[in-house]
Amino acid sequence: MTTRRDDLLGAHVSTRGGVGTAPARAVEIGATAIQVFTKTPNQWREPTLDDADVARFRAGLAAAGIRAAVSHDSYLINLASPDDQLRARSARCFTGELERCRALGIPWVVSHPGNYMDDRAAGLDRNARGYAECLARVPGDVGLLIEGTAGAGTALGSTFEELRALRDALPAAARGRVGFCLDTAHLHAAGYDVAGAIDAVWDRFDRTVGLALLKCLHLNDSKGAPGSRLDRHAWIGEGEIGPEAFRRIMRDARFGSVIKIIETPKGDDPVQNDRRMLRRLRAYARANRHTTQTVRET
């Protein structure tokens, strides 16, 4: 498969058989970027990385020409919880994620903000303190990408204002290691007009947060209606968002250095379906490679 070697485009790939197996799976689908789980995301059990597996992962990335890698933290983590025991367990889990990424050479951990359960402002404060404490425990270059959420229930982080508030609440030393990940399906579910006015969405994010802090995009279509708070991903161009938003993203020069990861349905043939989605996105990019200003004028 022919791969654009400079597009920072890939998928969330399986680490079944050990994290060292992930780079080969990325090669199979033609990816230049990957996202992985460094542990089982729906279990608390903390794995111990084998030195050989770490070496295999690092060597595999280099050999495959994978230009960017991110991890996604555990689904169980809730640093916004009012429950002291759950929050402490979440902090240990998130600290472990940062430590594994430091060992593996993964520069970013993507993390969903937690569920506040009681009071939104109190939950935001707890979440920010949790992030700061964990980052302080794991010094170095590994950073945090706070991911915007679909906003179901008491989830934090579904608005740009709240994402900014989370980062602003961190001490300056931690803030420098924190950026953002936005998911097109989550934006759509949270009520942003991704399908009809994607450029206006980016303008609003830039005014509220700053596009320079956007380090990763999750490119997913959605099975839910706009503003539904429903986080159900669909294949690119085949859901409620449709193809145009993805065309504009892939042709927007501002996102050239932003890591782009698909989390679209794997179906019964994960390799073929991921290949198909990446080919589609690259076709969108090739169709009309203009600058941002030209795209906005079309």
pLDDT tens across 59-91, in order?
999 999 999 999 999 999 999 999 999 999 999
How would you classify the pairing of strands 9-12 and 259-262? parallel
Assign 5 a pLDDT band (cuts: 50, 70, 90).
low
Q: Is 78 exposed, middle or buried (0-12, 13-18, 19+ CB in 10 A)?
A: buried
pLDDT tens profile 101-132: 999 999 999 999 999 999 999 999 999 999 99
| Helix %, strand %, coil % of the chain (to 5) | 45, 15, 40
Domain 28-297: give its CATH code. Answer: 3.20.20.150
pLDDT of residue 213: 98
State the CB neighbour count (10 A cutoff) for residue 155: 22
State the CB neighbour count (10 A cutoff) for residue 211: 14
Distance CA 270, CA 51 (A): 28
CB 171 within 8 A of CB 132: yes
Amino acid at 209: V
Q: Mean pLDDT of all residues in the chain?
A: 94
| pLDDT tops 80 at residue 289 | no
This prediction has a pTM of 0.94
| pLDDT tops 80 at residue 283 | yes
Q: Is 90 exposed, middle or buried (0-12, 13-18, 19+ CB in 10 A)?
A: buried
